[in-house]
Structure 1
Amino acid sequence: MRNTLYLLAMLTALAFAGSMSWAPILNETMAQKASTERVEHDDDRHEGHEDDGHEGHDDDGNGEHGDDEHGDREEEQIVRLDDATMREFGVEVATVSSGNLQVHVNLPGEVVIDPDKLAHILPRVSGIAHQVFKKLGDSVRAGEVLAVLESRELSELKSIYLVARERSALAEATFQREDKLWKQEISSEREYLETKQALAEARIEMRAADQKLHALGFSESYLKQLRFGENDSFTRYEIVAPFDGTVIEKHITLGELLQSETEAFVVADLSSVWVNLTVYQNDLPFVFQGQPTRISAGAGMPTAAGQISYVSPIIDEETRTATARVVLPNADGKWRPGTFITATVGVEQVEVETIVPRTALQTIGKQTVVFVETEEGFEPHPVTLGRLNDTSVEVVAGLHRGQRYVADGSFVLKAQLAKGAFGDGHNH
C-alpha cells in the first residue's frame, strides 16, 4: 500500500512540474520497486518448494515409483502359459540338441520344351489346304494326318515318276532283246551299245523322280503301287505328325495357299520337359551334374524331385550366369513350358552343435530370440544364427544343449509378451 501511495505522489509531482527532468528519477524508482518485489517472490517460492514439494517427492515418489517400474520391466520379460493354453495354441517345447543340417541354394529357372522333341512341320510341296483335321491343343499320334493339301506340283512329280518308270521298263526290255541278238551276232555292236546307253539314262531319270517323291515322304511301297488312272488323287498331299505329341501352334486354315517354306503346325512331345536353371557365378562351385534338387512353382503347384543332368561349361557374357538343366517327367502335363520355378539344390549336409527349427525364431526389436523355459516361465533369449535351410537353422550363440525351448508356436509367446509390455496384463 505504501508503495502505491508513493507512486501516485510521484506521478502528481511530474504532472504539475511539466518537465521531463523527472523521468530518470521515475524510471529508477520503478526499477528498484520491481527488483524488490522479484527478490521477495523468489524467496517465498523457494521456501515453499523446500517445505512441500521436494520433501514430498523424496519421501513418497522417487524411491517407491522407481522400484515399481523396475519390477514391471523384470516381469514383462517372462511369459507364463498354462498347459491348457499351450495345447490350444499348439505351443510345443523341445530340448536343444545337435543334428544334421542340409544346406542348400535356391536357383531361379524356367520350364522349357526339350528341343529334341519339338517339330516345326512344313509342307514339302506348295498347295491349297483342302482338309484340316487338328487344332491347337489336340493330341496326335506318330503318322497321323493333320491336314491335306491339293498340290499341282505334287501331281507333276508323280507324273514324271510314272513316265520315268515306264520308260525305264521299256528300255530294260529293249536292252535284253538287243543283248540276245548281239550275242547271237544278229544285231550290230552299235545297236547293242545304243540300247545299253538308253537303259542307263532311263534308270537315272527314274531314280531322280523316285528320290524326289521319297523326299516328300512317300514310301517305296506306295510308289510301287502308284498307277495312272487310279482313285488315289495325284494332287493329294498329307501333312502327318512325326511323333506322338501335342499341337502347340497352328498356322493353317481351310482354303489357304501354303508354300513349301510355310510352317503349318508345331508339335511337341511334352511327356518330359526341361527345367533350365540360372546359376550365379558365386553358386557355381556348389552345383554339379547328378546333384539332387527339388523343383517348386509356388502355391497351388506341385513339387518334383530331380537331378541336375547338365551344367553349362561357359558363362553368359551378358548375364554372367551359367545354365544347369533338370529333366522332369511330365506324363500328366502339369509342368507347362514357360512356367517360372525355384529349384532347391542341396549343397552339403553338416553336423552342427545346436540346431532348432525356424518356427522357434522370433524377432523382438532388432534381435532374433528363442523363448527358453525357466523356473518362472518362458524368457526370450537373443541368439546368433549360422547356416540355415527352409526348415532348420544353426544357433552359434545364445543357446546350449539341454535347454528347453519353444520349438513351435513361439508367435503366441511373442504376442503375450507384447500384450504385457502395453500394460494389458502381466503375462500370466
Structure 2
Amino acid sequence: MKTRNKKILLSIGVVLSGAILAVGGFWLGYLHGDSRNGPFDEEMHTVDSGDHQEHGLTEEHEEQADDQLVRVQPEELTEFGIETAKAGPGELSLYVDLPGEVVLNADRLAHVAPRVSGIVREVRKSVGDSVNAGEILAVLESRELAEAKAGFLAAIEREKLALANFEREERLWRKKVTSEQEYLDTRQALAEARITMTSAEQQLHALGFTDSELKELPKHSDATYTRFVIRAPFAGTIIERHLTLGESANAEADVFTIADLSSVWVDINVYQKDLARISKGQIVTIEIGHGIPTVSGSIAWVGPLVSEATRTAKARVVLPNSEGRLRPGLFVVARVAVGSTPVDILVPNSALQTFENRTVLFVQTEEGFEPQPIEIGQQNATHVEILSGLEAGRTYVTQGAFTLKAQLSKGAFGDGHNH
C-alpha cells in the first residue's frame, strides 16, 4: 500500500515539473524577442483583418460611385432631348428689374366727336367692336348740317351766275359795247362769289366731307341734307361709347373712343437710383405672367421729369400686339439690360439641378453622365457663372439634365444603369 502511494506521488511530481519547464520556456523565448511566438502572431493577424476591411470599403465606394452614373446610348440622347456643350468663358448680361404697366398707345387713340349738334338716329357700333377706317359708327339728324349744305349749294349757284355775267360783260367790253366799269363790277362780283363758295366748301370739309362727297352733294335729295354720318378715323376697337338713340349730341362731346390695340406702350417706373443706368435704345424683356409669353422691345423714350409722389421717372417701350394679349392695365416686370461682365465659366440655367441638397450639373465621363457639385456666382434670367466644380473644356449637359437626374432614383435608360 505504501509502495503504491509513493508511485502516485512520483507521477504527479513529474507532471508538475514538465509544466513548470514549459511555462519557463515560453517566457524565456518571449524575453529574448522571438518573433515567431506570442503577441507578434496576434499583431500580424490584426493587420490582415484591417486589409480585409479596407478592401471592403473600397468596393462599397466603387458601388456608390457607380450608383451615380447614368449610361446613355447615343440614340437616346436625341430621343430624350439631352444636349451637351463644352464649358468655357462668356459674357454675363446684367439686368435691372423695374415695375411697369401696359397702357394704350396714345399715338393710336382717337376721341371721336360729331362736329355738329344733332339728334342720334342710328348707333351701329358698341364697346368692344372692331371697326375699319371710314366705317359708320352712328348717324345724326342735324339742322346745323342742313344749313351748311344749303349754304354751300347756294354758293355754287351764285358762283355760276357771277361767272356767266362776267363772261358776257367781258365780251361786250372787248367790243366796246359796255363801259370798263361795268366789266370791273362783274369781275369783282365773280371773285366774291368764289370766296363765298370756298368758305362754304371749307365749312363742310371741317365737318368731315371729302371732295368726292361734295361733288355728289347737288345730286342728293333734300331729305338727306340733315343726315350726318360719324365715321371711324382709323381701324381699331371701340373702347368707349357715350351716346344712345334719340339723345341730343353736342358738337364738342366725345361720343366714341377708338384705340388701335395692335400696338401698345409699356410705361416703366424708373427709381432714382437706377436713372443713370437707363437710356434710350436699351433692350427690355417684359414679363407679364398669367400664361402670357414674355416679349422683348427697346426703350423708345425716357421722361425728363421725376414724379413728386412716387419719386420715379417714366421710360417707355412700344410693343406690337397683333394677337391682343397685351391688355392695357396689366402690370408687368421690365428687365432692362444695363451691361455685361466677363466670367471664366458661363453655363445656361437649364444645366443646373438640385441633387442630394447640392447644386449640381451633369458632366460626361467615358461611361456616361454623373452629377458634379458646383459653386455658382452671378446669375441672370438665362445664364449663371460657375465659380468652382467645372473646368474649362469639360463636356456637360445643357438640356435634359432633369431627365438624367430622374434616372438616378428610378433606373437608367433601358438596362444601362448598374446597381
| TM-score greater than 0.5 by the shorter chain | yes
2: CA distance, partners of 1:372 / 1:144 = 60
Q: CA deviation at 1:86?
A: 9.5
Instruction: Give the alignment partner of residue 229 of structure 2, picking from 217, 233, 238.
Output: 238
CA contact (8 A) 1:98 1:351 kept: no
1: CA distance, partners of 2:396 / 2:157 = 95
1:338-349 equivalent positions in 2, closer than 5 A: 338-349=329-340
1: CA distance, partners of 2:207 / 2:342 = 64
What is the letter of the counterpart of residue 102 of structure 1? S
CA contact (8 A) 1:135 1:247 kept: yes
Instruction: Give the alignment partner of residue 215 of structure 1, picking from 186, 198, 206.
Output: 206
CA contact (8 A) 2:239 2:259 kept: yes
2: CA distance, partners of 1:194 / 1:315 = 63
Q: Secondary structure at the match of 2:116?
A: coil
Q: Secondary structure at the match of 1:335?
A: coil
Indicate whether 1:191 and 2:182 are aligned. Answer: yes
1: CA distance, partners of 2:241 / 2:233 = 15
Larger mean CA deviation between 226-235 and 200-209 belongs to 226-235
What is the letter of the counterpart of residue 183 of structure 2? Y
Instruction: Tell me the residue number matched to 1:119.
Output: 110
User: Given the superposition, is the C-alpha separation of residues 313 and 295 from structure 1 closer, same or farther in structure 2, using an over 3 Å criterion?
Assistant: closer
1: CA distance, partners of 2:237 / 2:160 = 45
Q: Secondary structure at the match of 2:304?
A: coil
CA contact (8 A) 2:287 2:332 kept: yes
Instruction: Tell me the residue number matched to 1:248.
Output: 239
Indicate whether 1:179 and 2:170 are aligned. Answer: yes
Instruction: Tell me the residue number matched to 2:52.
Output: none
Q: CA deviation at 1:284?
A: 3.2
Q: CA deviation at 1:110?
A: 1.2
Indicate whether 1:334 and 2:325 are aligned. Answer: yes
- Number of residue pairs matched? 318
User: Given the superposition, is the C-alpha separation of residues 405 and 211 from structure 1 closer, same or farther in structure 2, using an over 3 Å criterion?
Assistant: closer
User: Given the superposition, is the C-alpha separation of residues 111 and 172 from structure 1 closer, same or farther in structure 2, using an over 3 Å criterion?
Assistant: same
Q: Secondary structure at the match of 1:226?
A: helix
Q: Secondary structure at the match of 2:218?
A: coil
Q: CA deviation at 1:330?
A: 1.0
Instruction: Give the alignment partner of residue 272 of structure 2, picking from 271, 278, 281.
Output: 281
User: Given the superposition, is the C-alpha separation of residues 133 and 186 from structure 1 closer, same or farther in structure 2, using an over 3 Å criterion?
Assistant: same
Larger mean CA deviation between 291-300 and 121-130 belongs to 291-300
Instruction: Give the alignment partner of residue 147 of structure 1, picking from 138, 160, 164.
Output: 138
Instruction: Tell me the residue number matched to 1:257.
Output: 248
CA contact (8 A) 1:129 1:258 kept: yes
CA contact (8 A) 2:101 2:328 kept: yes
Point out where structure 2 has 5 or more consecutive residues left out of the alignment.
Answer: 1-63, 72-81, 363-370, 406-419
Instruction: Give the alignment partner of residue 128 of structure 2, picking from 111, 122, 137.
Output: 137
CA contact (8 A) 2:115 2:251 kept: yes
**Deviations 1:377-422, CA, capped at 9 Å, x for gaps:** x9999x6x743213554466x867599999978xx9xxxxxxxxxx
2: CA distance, partners of 1:274 / 1:85 = 51
Q: CA deviation at 1:120?
A: 0.6
Q: Secondary structure at the match of 1:344?
A: strand
Instruction: Tell me the residue number matched to 1:426.
Output: none
**Deviations 1:8-65, CA, capped at 9 Å, x for gaps:** xxxxxxxxxxxxxxxxxxxxxxxxxxxxxxxxxxxxxxxxxxxxxxxxxxxxxxxxxx
What is the letter of the counterpart of residue 261 of structure 2? L
Point out where structure 1 has 5 or more consecutive residues left out of the alignment.
Answer: 1-79, 413-428
What is the letter of the counterpart of residue 130 of structure 2? S
User: Given the superposition, is the C-alpha separation of residues 202 and 268 from structure 1 closer, same or farther in structure 2, using an over 3 Å criterion?
Assistant: same
User: Given the superposition, is the C-alpha separation of residues 186 and 110 from structure 1 closer, same or farther in structure 2, using an over 3 Å criterion?
Assistant: same
User: Given the superposition, is the C-alpha separation of residues 304 and 170 from structure 1 closer, same or farther in structure 2, using an over 3 Å criterion?
Assistant: same
Q: Secondary structure at the match of 1:217?
A: coil
CA contact (8 A) 1:111 1:337 kept: yes
1:240-389 equivalent positions in 2, closer than 5 A: 240-308=231-299, 310-312=300-302, 314-318=304-308, 319-353=310-344, 370=359, 386-389=377-380
What is the letter of the counterpart of residue 166 of structure 1? E
CA contact (8 A) 2:87 2:396 kept: no
Instruction: Tell me the residue number matched to 1:162.
Output: 153
1: CA distance, partners of 2:128 / 2:272 = 39
CA contact (8 A) 1:96 1:356 kept: no
What is the letter of the counterpart of residue 187 of structure 1? T
What is the letter of the counterpart of residue 346 of structure 1? A
1: CA distance, partners of 2:290 / 2:93 = 23
Q: Secondary structure at the match of 1:343?
A: strand
**Deviations 1:231-289, CA, capped at 9 Å, x for gaps:** 66000100001111111111111111101111111111111212222222332343333
Instruction: Tell me the residue number matched to 1:49.
Output: none
Larger mean CA deviation between 196-205 and 110-119 belongs to 196-205
Q: Tell me the TM-score normalised to structure 2 length.
A: 0.65
2: CA distance, partners of 1:84 / 1:136 = 62
CA contact (8 A) 1:97 1:353 kept: no
**Deviations 1:174-195, CA, capped at 9 Å, x for gaps:** 1111121222222223322322
Percent of aligned pairs sharing the same letter: 48
User: Given the superposition, is the C-alpha separation of residues 85 and 262 from structure 1 closer, same or farther in structure 2, using an over 3 Å criterion?
Assistant: farther
Q: Tell me the TM-score normalised to structure 1 length.
A: 0.64
